[in-house]
Amino acid sequence: MIFLSASIPDQSSERKYTETADVIAIRDSVRALASVVIPNSRLIWGGHPAITPLIRYVIESVNPGLQLKKHITLYQSDFYKNSFPKDNLFFENIIKIPANVNELSSVNDMRNRMIKDNEYKVGIFIGGRQGVEREFSLFKEVHPKALLLPIASTGAAARIIYNGIIPRLDVRLLNDYAYMSLFKSLLKEYI
């Protein structure tokens, strides 16, 4: 199983995320990741409204007719049930986590379930803001033997994570924008 934590920082985000965020790289990397992983393994992510449509696009254009239940699990917090993206209707395997007293505790409940209830081989972190950083910390704690791939070329939280890891990770995570070949190379033992 492959875990994906990704989002696209918007203009209301902190400067430390927006100043390095590469929206095109974030989109390209998510599409490439979905193309490489979904036909061969299971991809699990929290239903961020900027990421879910990208994954749906890949499935419809590259893998039509694929049995999605075997390859995809989407987590959502019911805190957002009135604003779920229409793209959610496309996915069969959605795990909805009951809303808690406020947004932060609801999202934390979803993250805990999503990360702790699954046995992951790999965690991939793309773009993002503080949520991606939080998911990285929790993922690393719960799955200490999993391969960690912060895709630093996408900027934002992924670059902050990459820069904070000692010893330094594979430099391709920082400067390789050929995401399809990058994921095929890095994930060949895991999918």
Domains of the chain: 2-187 (3.40.50.450)
Sheet holding 147-151, edge to edge: 94-97, 72-77, 43-46, 2-7, 122-127, 147-151
**DSSP-derived 3-state class of residue 75:** strand
pLDDT at 63: 62
CA 87/CA 89 separation, integer angstroms: 5
Helix axes 23-37, 179-187, angle to 10 degrees: 40
pLDDT at 175: 96
pLDDT at 64: 65
CA pseudo-torsion sign 4, 153, 40, 8? positive
Q: Where on the phi/psi map is residue 144: left (φ > 0), alpha (ψ -120 to 50), or beta?
A: alpha
Whether residue 51 contacts residue 45, with contact meaning beta carbons closer than 8 Å, is answered with yes
| pLDDT tens digits, one per residue of 125-141 | 999 999 999 999 999 99
pLDDT at 167: 75
pLDDT at 47: 84
Q: What residue ranges of the chain have pLDDT lower than 50?
A: none
Report the predicted TM-score, pTM, of the whole model to 2 decimal places.
0.94
CA 39/CA 67 separation, integer angstroms: 9
